[in-house]
Amino acid sequence: MPRLVPLFLSVVCLSLAVPACTKPADPVKAETKDVNQIPAPEPKPGASELGALPDPVAIVNDKPLTLADFRTIYDLKVQKYAERGREIPPSADRRYRKSITERLIYQEVLRQEAVARKIQYDQAELARREAEQKQGIKDWDKHLVRRGETEQSLRDMYVAEIVEKQLLEADNKLTVTDAEVDEEYEKIKPNYKSDADRVQASHILIPLGPQTPPGQAPGDKPPEPTAEERKQWTAEAMAKADELYKKATTPGTDFAQLAKENSIGPSADKGGDLGVFTKDRMVEEFSAVAFKLKPGEISKPVETKFGVHIIKLIAKYPPGDLPKEALVEQIRERLGQRKLHQGRRDLKEALLARYKVVNKMEEALGPDPRARKLGLGGAGRTQPQPGALPPEHPPVPGVTGPTAPTAPTAPTAPTPPSGLTGAANSAEKAEAKGGEADGGDGE
């Protein structure tokens, strides 16, 4: 028996040593494919509880919404899973089928309502919206693929949102009264009390150097200029500022329009308006000039690290409460946004109740099995408010409770658009909701 122990140990050691000496198999390199060439996987018969896609997916007042229109968006959503080499989970598939169909239905309802009321969407607003969405995005085509959208599908969402607002304006749902402004001012007045002097000013900002140097992608941080380049850029900006200063000080010139046409930065679209601020909220060179001006006076060009400014003083305010006239525009904008948000909810609910809609996709999907498991199916299930924004939507001014808007800060470069609102936001957010839990397809 003692002889067998060394023999047994030798056999065990040998068996462990053999794999260590064996050369591991070379890893297989994954084949690289163009994501745009990856076909969207077709649902396999019997493989999904969701079944086949209906055609049409819905009917609105006898107008069919075809499966082809639906798949224009749906296939791009599914492709995002194919790019990762996985099939779309049934829960995400159900969500996409439902939300895309509802999105197409409401877009068609808005289109028919606009035709019936002879309302044409504002093409200038559409062009502005599309340009705004592309700001700061280096590769727009790649951005579309990531979002699972096409140029046309995004345009359709923008148009729907514009039509929504035009319908509400036609029904006088967005008007803000003087009484509403007075009431809101009394609510927010304590938020604007200050122990320091304040001014309200507008400016025209001329940048130093090109906004996007040759060979640089939009959004990339530009390289530091040489001393010679900075000297040249400053001279060029000063020359342009001198020219604009002469125009601005010419009697009858609209400073706000001049700012819209020549300034850069977030304030440009507002006619250069920087709002009300204390001296410490702006860079020293800017505040030193602004606080010495008299109301209505326009400064000569002032250079800061942001560029060259032409400043117009609107008003001066001593310490204490800000008078209503200093806040009236902000209050009107806040109340207008609040009315727009609620108006969109009410409009969607009213239109969908009035139009004859047959949702074939909803019929094909049937009850959500997850809702049945949780005992939420049928009439007892609490439905979301029609048109409601999802929980992850960024706060809308005046909707989540009165809070003081942040005071203006030093002029900065334009910020990327914060996203969509209204019909466009509700549709896209609904489709993306829960994507991370299902594999990270959320936007």
Contact present, 309 and 302 (Cβ < 8 Å): yes
* pLDDT number for residue 421: 43
Q: What is the pLDDT of residue 40?
A: 45
Contact 426, 411 (CB under 8 A): no
Phi and psi (nearest 5°) for 309?
A: -110, 145
Q: How far is CA 40 from CA 76, 214, 367, 435, in A?
A: 7, 38, 25, 18
Query: Which H helix or E strand runs over 424?
Result: helix 422-432
The Cα 199–Cα 277 span in angstroms is: 6
387, exposed or middle or buried, with CB in 10 Å at 0-12, 13-18, 19+?
Answer: buried
pLDDT at 87: 86
pLDDT of residue 291: 97
**Cα–Cα distance, 232 to 190 (Å, whole number):** 48
Chain centroid to Cα 52, Å, comes to: 33
Q: What is the pTM of this model?
A: 0.63
Burial of 84 (0-12, 13-18, 19+ CB in 10 A): exposed
Distance CA 4, CA 6 (A): 6
Given a contact cutoff of 8 angstroms between Cβ atoms, the answer to whether 101 and 70 are in contact is: yes
Residues in the chain: 443
For residue range 46-62, list pLDDT tens digits in order.
335 678 899 999 999 99
Helix axes 227-248, 255-262, angle to 10 degrees: 150
The per-residue pLDDT for 216 is 53
In angstroms, the Cα distances linking 170 to 67, 114, 117, 277, 352 are 33, 11, 10, 36, 19
Per-residue pLDDT tens listing for the chain (443 residues): 455 444 444 444 444 444 444 444 454 444 444 434 445 445 443 335 678 899 999 999 999 999 999 999 999 998 888 888 888 899 999 999 999 999 999 999 999 999 999 999 999 999 988 988 887 788 899 889 888 899 999 999 999 999 999 999 999 999 999 999 999 999 999 999 999 999 999 999 999 887 655 555 555 666 787 888 889 999 999 999 999 999 999 999 999 999 999 999 889 888 999 999 999 999 999 999 999 999 999 999 999 999 999 999 999 999 999 999 999 999 999 999 999 999 999 999 999 999 999 999 999 998 877 766 655 544 434 444 444 433 333 443 333 333 333 334 433 333 333 334 455 555 444 444 444 333 333 33
Cα separation, 248 vs 254, in Å, equals 7
Q: In whole angstroms, what is the distance from residue 433 CA to residue 393 CA?
A: 10
**Structure-token pair, residue 281:** 């909220």
Q: For residue 247, what are the contacts with CB-CB under 8 A and spacing of at least 6?
A: 253, 258
